[in-house]
Amino acid sequence: MKKIILTAAALFAFGFANAQSGSFKLGAHVGLPTGDIKDFSSVNLGADVSYTWSVAEGLDVGIATGYSNYLGKTVDVEGFGSFKAEDSGFVPIAATGQITLTNNLFVGADLGYAIFTGSDNGSDGGFYYQPKFGYQMNVTGIYVSYKGISVDGATFSSVNLGVNFKL
């Protein structure tokens, strides 16, 4: 028990000491739905928030969240007419990492769980993943990504273009 407490205290102290080297990012993305959701959704829109710490030269890790909404579109069903598909919103809670390849180019990924925010009580979210490739300037960054949320055997996915701002 004593080792656990000392380890937790050391991790807390390390995190607090490295808090000065962290960066807060606020961003937005727009994307084209792919896979299972493409027939029912017209676009993916969202906001992104992350906080990362520099743990080594060219390597940042941290936490990420935000909001991602797949806007429903009107779907024609042969023999039944048409209906408007509902929007599907998610709040991801994820670990994030970014490796700087050159002075400005980076690859990264978010991994975690996305909480479903819609009115359907049968859904509660699923596994969330988002690999990214981008260009980071001093304050502004742009990236392309593939976002996937695996929910009950289906996948909400999209190819996105995003922008972020370091605050």
- Sign of the C-alpha dihedral, residues 99, 101, 103, 108? negative
| pLDDT class of 153 with cuts at 50, 70, 90 | confident
- Position 119 scores a pLDDT of 72
The average confidence (pLDDT) of the chain is 86
85: which 2 tokens? 């598909």
Tens-place pLDDT, residues 70-128: 999 988 888 788 888 889 999 999 999 999 999 899 999 999 999 999 776 566 789 99
CB-based contact 139:23 (threshold 8 Å) = no
What is the fold of 21-166? Porin (2.40.160)
Q: Are strands 81-84 and 88-100 parallel, antiparallel or unpaired?
A: unpaired
Tens-place pLDDT, residues 42-78: 999 999 999 999 999 999 999 999 999 999 998 888 8
The four Cα atoms 123, 112, 27, 116 give a dihedral, to 10 degrees, of 10
91: which 2 tokens? 């709040």
Instruction: Give pTM, 2 decimals.
Output: 0.82
What residues does each domain of the chain span?
A: 21-166
